[in-house]
Chains A and B, each alone.
Chain A
């Protein structure tokens, strides 16, 4: 997918980068002339006393792969079910292609959904499952047969059309569910936790297949997931949801490298959060004193910080370097002792206690570039942590 390649080539997005400065092939959300395919306008939904979706507005654009990420109970499934028509908003409206569909029943919406449980009809063959929606459209039989074959080929299940769902593996069932939801050529495909039932290897390959399929067919996908890897791999844009509200919307790299607040930073990826007090602001350069990490300097211009202000600073584990000798740089370093080493194959997660035994544990991720089994660091080693001026980011609460 070209949008992602370009984003990767442009390097990690920095918060100071204005939207136009990072070239992206596909970013209709930044184009004022682009017409959204779906618009939620001030949508709210309550179940009893629980507010599932709270005055939420959101636009999805044609051909976009959009991921809705959040912990269970954050309202992401409700939002998707409102789009499919299974829930009716208490307030606000939902537009599809400019048409208000808030009150349209599910069977009249040009939107299809792939269910988390796949919801394959157990009494029908694979063919009949895929043909189900086409039959409801009243298409002639030859046309239905042709489309079913086409869909089976698309999801690489040729020849399995006569089987029953219970004669298929989990991965095959997922493909049938996908084929069935794509058969009607919906304007928008909703995917509810599409990979949740697959094992890890299969999940990875399926993610890429899904992305290829989406760009090949030129469809708009909205996927709901609690799995951040899944969201980051597939999505052009993702939204992080919490308690019925969208906390941040943006491309995955922006969400990761420039999270809007502490919640997003901690939900997406691993991060060390340290407290500090601003001691000086000189242009983009903010200096702060932290009881945990000493003097910290960081690059920050969007937030108007004043000396004396107490703030939280986030440091991603992979952006911290580890060494036995004291680094030459004057700031952005702290001494500590290794408490724990978690070897994960591709990288090693080291927990370093800084500020004495009752201090603060900081996580450092070391890429395992060498095949040597002997690691340069061991438990109880005295080490130094250091990072760039660009690594730290200020986290609004």
Chain B
């Protein structure tokens, strides 16, 4: 291991401080006994208790979780199929176009994705609410899921699938008994990632939602506009915790998968 010089250590500390100090401040103030966000009044879990009786916030959280669950599941299923198509069918006609179209949402500004989906839903005269947000989230998470699964399939030994077919398995049975059990860590990681992305999203949800379907980030954002309360800090702390756990689990799954696949 190469030792870092003092300059590099300073750069590292400043960089991480810039990234994580605000979050740490937010977490710290969620345990603040004072009502004023910027004045420390001693340690308290008071705001977590009041949070539990904040019905609108809890409703929004429950809606976000259900929505993220459905959106992540749809995105992972479709993303896995897209990854299989990309990994398996070699240089089919239109491959570049297909790849580009699957992965475009990754780099597309969220405002554009949100606006275009809104226009679509308006044009199609769809009542906006839970399902329109779910569809929108599934759409932009699909590309992420596809990339995660595709990286696993790149190192996949095709002869395993051929062996299964040689032993009498139809392509469908081969997928369920050989392919999926071998790529499931990547599929699970893709699901975790999609779930987190959906849970976090504010912009696309704002564009595509309707009355009665307010997600947690939207509820928090509107609450902040009326003034920041430590209760919001508490809600955010819980969310950070949930997302951190999901991301860590996803990366552990991918790491384990790499070890198994290598």
Contact indicator A107/B170 (Cβ below 8 Å): yes
Q: Residues of B contacting A184 with CB < 8 Å? A: 167-168
In the complex, A2→B68 CA distance in Å? 70
Known: A123-B182, A133-B167. A115 touches B159 (CB 8 A): yes
Once the chains bind, are A136 and B173 in contact (CB under 8 Å)? yes
Q: Which residues of B contact A112 (CB under 8 A)?
A: 166-167
B198: min CB distance to chain A, Å: 30
With beta carbons under 8 angstroms apart, the residue of A105, A132, A181 that contacts B164 is A132
The reply to whether the CB of B181 lies closer than 8 angstroms to some CB of chain A is yes
Within the complex, the shortest CB–CB distance from B230 to chain A, in Å, comes to 49
Central interface residue in A116, A136, A180, by most chain B CB within 10 Å:
A136
CA distance A107 to B171 in the complex (A): 8
Whether, in the assembled complex, B260 has its beta carbon less than 8 Å from a beta carbon of chain A, the answer is yes
Of A86, A116, A137, the most chain B CB neighbours within 10 A belong to A86
A184–B167 alpha-carbon span in the complex (Å): 8
In the complex formed, the residue of B with least CB distance to A110 is: B168
Contact flag A113-B166 (CB < 8 Å), given A119-B160, A121-B160: yes
Mark interface residues in B164-194 (1 if CB within 8 Å of A CB, else 0): 1111111101000110011000000000000
- The CB with the most chain B CB atoms within 10 A, among A119, A122, A123, is that of A119
Chain B residues within 8 Å of A116, by CB: 159
The 0/1 profile, CB within 8 Å of B marked 1, for residues 174-191 of chain A is: 000000110010000000
C-alpha gap A136/B166 in the complex (Å): 11
Within the complex, the shortest CB–CB distance from B171 to chain A, in Å, comes to: 8
CB-based contact B162/A121 at 8 Å: no
Q: Does A106 contact B (CB under 8 A)?
A: yes
Identify the interface centre among B166, B168, B173: most chain A CB within 10 Å of its CB. B166
- The smallest beta-carbon distance between B169 and chain A, in angstroms, is 5
Known contacts A119-B162, A119-B163; is-contact A136 B181 (Cβ 8 Å):
no
Contact A106 B160, beta carbon cutoff 8 Å: no
Interface: B55 (CB within 8 A): no
Tell me if B165 and A106 are in contact (CB < 8 A): yes
The smallest C-beta distance from B155 to any residue of chain A, in angstroms, reads 12
Bits for A123-145, please: 1 = Cβ < 8 Å to B, else 0: 10000000011001100000000
Determine the chain A residues whose CB is within 8 A of the CB of B165 once the complex forms.
85, 105-107
User: Closest CB of chain A to B91's CB: distance in Å?
Assistant: 11
The CA of A85 and the CA of B167, in the complex, are separated in Å by 12
B157 CB to closest chain A CB, in angstroms?
A: 7
8 A Cβ contacts from A323-381 to B: none
Residues B162 and A132 in contact, CB atoms below 8 Å apart: no
The residue that B159 contacts in the complex, of A105, A119, A133, A181, with Cβ under 8 A, is: A119
Tell me the complex Cα distance, A123–B159, Å.
15
Chain B interface residue bracket vs A: 10 to 19
Question: A167: CB under 8 A from chain B?
Answer: no
- Chain B positions within 8 Å of A123 at CB level: 181-182
Asked if A84 is at the interface of the complex by the 8 Å CB criterion, the answer is yes
Q: Judge whether A59 is part of the interface by a CB distance below 8 angstroms.
A: no
| Nearest A residue to B174, CB-CB | A107
Beta-carbon contact of A107 and B166 below 8 Å = yes
A136 touches B167 (CB 8 A): yes
Most chain B CB atoms below 10 A, which of A111, A115, A120: A115
User: Chain A 49-92, CB within 8 Å of chain B: the 1/0 string?
Assistant: 00000000000000000000000000000000000111000000
Q: How far is the CA of A86 from the CA of B174 in the complex (A)?
A: 14
Output the least CB separation between B232 and chain A (Å).
Answer: 45
List the A side residues contacting B169 at CB < 8 Å: 107, 132, 136
**Cβ contact within 8 Å between A137 and B168:** yes
Smallest CB gap from A138: residue in B: B168
Q: Which residues of A contact B164 (CB under 8 A)?
A: 121, 132
Indicate with 1 or 0, residue by residue over A299-315, a CB within 8 angstroms of chain B CB atoms. 00000000000000000
Contacting residues, chain B, for A106 (C-beta < 8 A) = 162, 165-166
Q: What is the CA–CA distance of A112 and B164 in the complex, to the nearest angstrom? A: 10
Q: Which of B157, B168, B171, B173 contacts A119 (CB 8 A)?
A: B157
Point out the residues of chain A lying under 8 angstroms from B166, CB to CB.
Answer: 84-85, 106-107, 111-113, 181
> How far, in Å, is A42 (CB) from chain B's closest CB?
25
A121 to B160, CA, bound (A): 7
Sorted nearest first, the 7 A-B pairs with minimum C-beta distance are A133-B167, A136-B168, A119-B163, A119-B159, A106-B165, A107-B165, A123-B181
User: Could you write out 26 A-B pairs with CB less than 8 Å apart?
Assistant: A84-B166, A86-B162, A106-B165, A106-B166, A107-B165, A107-B166, A107-B170, A108-B168, A111-B166, A115-B159, A115-B162, A117-B157, A119-B157, A119-B159, A119-B160, A119-B163, A121-B163, A122-B182, A132-B177, A133-B168, A136-B167, A136-B173, A137-B168, A181-B166, A181-B167, A184-B167
Residues of A within 8 A of B (CB): 84-86, 105-108, 111-113, 115-117, 119-123, 132-133, 136-137, 180-181, 184
13 new A-B contacts at CB < 8 Å, known A121-B160, A122-B160: A84-B166, A107-B171, A111-B166, A113-B162, A113-B166, A117-B157, A119-B157, A119-B159, A123-B181, A136-B168, A136-B169, A136-B173, A180-B163
